[in-house]
Copies of this chain bind each other. A is one copy, B any other.
Amino acid sequence: MLVVVALGEETKRFSQLHAQIAGISKKMLTQVLRELERNSLDKRVVYLVIPPMVEYSLTPLGLTLRELIYALRDWSERYIEEVERRRTEYDQQDKTLLQEQIMALVQQWTEAS
Contacts and interface: CB of A to CB of B under 8 A. Distances in A.
Interface in A63-113: 64-65, 68, 71-72, 75, 79, 82-83, 86-87, 90-91
A102 to B, nearest CB: 22
List the number of copies, as a whole number.
2
Interface string A27-59: 000000000011111000000000000000000
A44 to B, nearest CB: 11
The 7 closest A-B pairs by CB, nearest first: A40-B86, A38-B90, A39-B83, A38-B87, A68-B71, A68-B72, A68-B75
Interface of A: 37-41, 61, 64-65, 68, 71-72, 75, 79, 82-83, 86-87, 90-91
